[in-house]
Chain A
Amino acid sequence: MSMAKKEVSSRMKSLEVEKIRDDFPILKRKVNGRALAYLDNAASMQKPQVVLNQIQEFYSQHYSNVHRSGHTLSVEATDLYEAVRPKVKNFIGAGSNEEIIFTKGTTEAINLVAHSWARQQLKEGDRIVISRMEHHANFVPWQVLAKELKLQVDIAELDEDFRLNLDDYKKLLARGPKLVALSMMSNVLGGINPVKELTDLAHEAGAVILLDGAQFVIHQQTKLEQLGQPDFLVFSSHKIGGPSGTGVLNASKKRLGEMSPYQYGGDMILEVRDDRITFNEPPHMFEAGTPNMAGVVGMGAAIDYLESIGFEKIEAIESELTQKAMEALVSLDALELVGPKSLDSRGPVFSFVIKGIHPHDLGTILDSHGVAARAGHHCAQPLHFKQKLPASTRASFCFYNTEEEIDQLVVAIQEARKFFR
């Protein structure tokens, strides 16, 4: 593309982003006297007005419990709730509605797999492979289960560019693990894993694979077929513009047949007698109790919203944003990036340390500039310990962020350096 054309396309993109920003009321807020630059999307994304409207409408027009009563409101609530299942199914290209289980979020979805599948299927001496970049949600459930059942958890390490070391991964697969649980994109490093290859390798090694899509699904189109048909895929609603307290577990039909219930109670049973119980069919079997109905309905609106923008546009906006943010950050001489420097297979999540400034101090100074970023270990302590970092600062962008916000971040970092010279 010629420079002039590139320029035009860049300007068009920023006009599109301005339009997108109008959909998110909170982005107009001021924080500490400055325009808010919300760069904590990896922790949670802001909500578009259509999601807020949908929740409001659900509560004000159709609210009732689902799957229970025969009255009009309950039928409407059930219809709205169940309409999200095929929406999610299409969103990820799953085979059928029963493969979509609504959970509280990614964490509960992984715990559900640990309890309902792994606890039943794994036995003493079996191995589980995870990686160094896992979030605690995809680390701790396996550690605890391993302790309980005497399993071995193997951790695939990273290479020098903070990418998953494929040789190490293959070496661990050669030990014949029963389960592999990997994030598709690191919430700290920003690198995107070669997911299809990882899935194929796991399957060739005879392992079942769980993909943690919590970070990935907002950045790129997620289709099971392109991911090598993983056995389990999990993600959260709040990281894709939907409400918190809601998420998805997608389990393949084969794995569903191997799973036992997660929790017991209402809605997950067909019949209860004093001396016997018949459980409901999947997915309801795994959704005991009154679910987060408004959360699920809101998640449906978030998916509609993302699809109305389209992942082609989302990826185009974000790839430019990633490139610009990378250029701006690595040009700061005291900044050390904790993540891949190459732009291929990389999302707009940047963790870094600034020499001489503790991340917590930097966080306060960024906040005073209206920049919302996260300081800490980002729920990935094993990664930070391995890198010998007590903490890092993370700026995580999404498609509604702008170049001006990158500048705002850079100015705030420079200001912080003045304080701690």
Chain B
Amino acid sequence: MSLNEERNNPVNLGALYQDIILDHQKDPRHFGKLEEPDMQAEGFNPMCGDRVSVQVKLDDDHKMVVGQAFSGEGCSICMASASMMTEELEGASVEHTLAQIKNFREVMQGLKPETSLDGDLEALVGVKKFPVRIKCALLPWTTLKSAIDECPVIKQYKEQSKKDQDK
């Protein structure tokens, strides 16, 4: 199919704006700020002006998530994706979260089957049909990834375990 023919077909907006997505957009979970987060980062999409900030609180061992919040301003896809992400974070380990971020990114980029997503997140696979919107869905997750990567305690922890391995 030529580019023109493909683009000439009508678009199914319902695939993008599923009820679950609109529900998260209207009633975002964990929207706000934490008082003393262990990890935080801000993500920005200069093309559309989406801005998301993600905060996470960890337990004393810095292994498990005990609190999470997001704030910012963006389109429904970005906000719904952030809201769903914070639900996934609930009680998760940092390690599991990193794996989930990778999984979500790979599904959105078409590297993994859509069935690799479950729960509310499944609703976001419709975004794949709208290539310019994939970035919107990914922004909260890449922001969370940089929050984890930039977290001093996690960095220290990683370096230590690398040293232990080298020994």
A390 contacts across to B, CB distance below 8 A = 49-51, 73-74
A390 to B51, CA, bound (A): 9
Contact A360 B11 (CB under 8 A): no
**B22 at interface, CB cutoff 8 A:** yes
Segment of A72-80, A198-206, A363-371 in the binding face: A363-371
Contact B75 A361 (CB under 8 A): yes
Contact B49 A419 (CB under 8 A): no
Contact A358 B75 (CB under 8 A): yes
**A85 at interface, CB cutoff 8 A:** no
Chain B proximity of A12: nearest CB distance (Å):
33
A391 contacts across to B, CB distance below 8 A = 48-49
Interface size on A, residues (CB 8 A): 22
Segment of A27-35, A118-126, A159-167, A266-274 in the binding face: A27-35
Tell me the nearest residue of chain B to A390, going by C-beta: B49
B4 contacts across to A, CB distance below 8 A = 29
**B10 at interface, CB cutoff 8 A:** yes
A34 to B7, CA, bound (A): 10
Contact B136 A360 (CB under 8 A): yes
Contact with B along A15-32 (1 / 0, CB 8 A): 000000000000001111
Chain B proximity of A414: nearest CB distance (Å):
13
Contact A32 B75 (CB under 8 A): no
- Kindly identify which residue among B10, B13, B130, B136 contacts A419, using a CB–CB cutoff of 8 Å: B13
A376 to B73, CA, bound (A): 13
**B16 at interface, CB cutoff 8 A:** yes
A361 contacts across to B, CB distance below 8 A = 17, 75-77
Which A residues from 18 to 69 make CB contacts under 8 A with B? 29-34
Contact B8 A384 (CB under 8 A): no
A32 to B5, CA, bound (A): 9
A358 to B75, CA, bound (A): 5
**B133 at interface, CB cutoff 8 A:** yes
A34 to B9, CA, bound (A): 8
How many A-B pairs fall under 8 Å by CB? Answer: 61
- Kindly identify which residue among A30, A32, A358, A419 contacts B11, using a CB–CB cutoff of 8 Å: A32
B11 contacts across to A, CB distance below 8 A = 32-33, 367-368
A368 contacts across to B, CB distance below 8 A = 10-11, 13
User: Which bucket holds chain B's interface residue count?
Assistant: 20 to 34
Question: Known contacts A29-B4, A31-B8, A420-B22; is A358 also within 8 Å of B76 by CB?
Answer: yes
A420 to B13, CA, bound (A): 12
Tell me the nearest residue of chain A to B72, going by C-beta: A390
**A294 at interface, CB cutoff 8 A:** no
Question: Known contacts A359-B48, A376-B48, A391-B49; is A364 also within 8 Å of B9 by CB?
Answer: no
A128 to B10, CA, bound (A): 50
Tell me the nearest residue of chain A to B74, going by C-beta: A358
**B47 at interface, CB cutoff 8 A:** yes
- Kindly identify which residue among B13, B49, B133 contacts A384, using a CB–CB cutoff of 8 Å: B49
Contact A33 B49 (CB under 8 A): no
Chain A proximity of B97: nearest CB distance (Å):
26
Contact A32 B9 (CB under 8 A): yes
B17 contacts across to A, CB distance below 8 A = 361, 419
Tell me the nearest residue of chain A to B25, going by C-beta: A420
Which A residues from 339 to 393 make CB contacts under 8 A with B? 358-361, 364-365, 367-368, 375-377, 384, 390-391
Contact A360 B48 (CB under 8 A): yes
A368 to B16, CA, bound (A): 11
B73 contacts across to A, CB distance below 8 A = 390
A376 contacts across to B, CB distance below 8 A = 47-49
Residues of B near any A CB (own CB < 8 A): 4, 7-11, 13, 16-17, 22, 47-51, 73-78, 130, 132-133, 136
Q: Apart from A33-B10, A360-B48, A420-B22, what 7 extra A-B contacts exist at CB < 8 Å?
A: A358-B75, A360-B50, A360-B74, A360-B133, A365-B13, A367-B11, A376-B47
Sample 20 A-B pairs with CB under 8 A, ordered by A number.
A29-B4, A32-B7, A32-B9, A34-B10, A359-B48, A359-B49, A359-B75, A360-B75, A361-B76, A364-B13, A364-B16, A364-B132, A368-B13, A376-B47, A376-B48, A376-B49, A390-B51, A390-B73, A390-B74, A391-B49
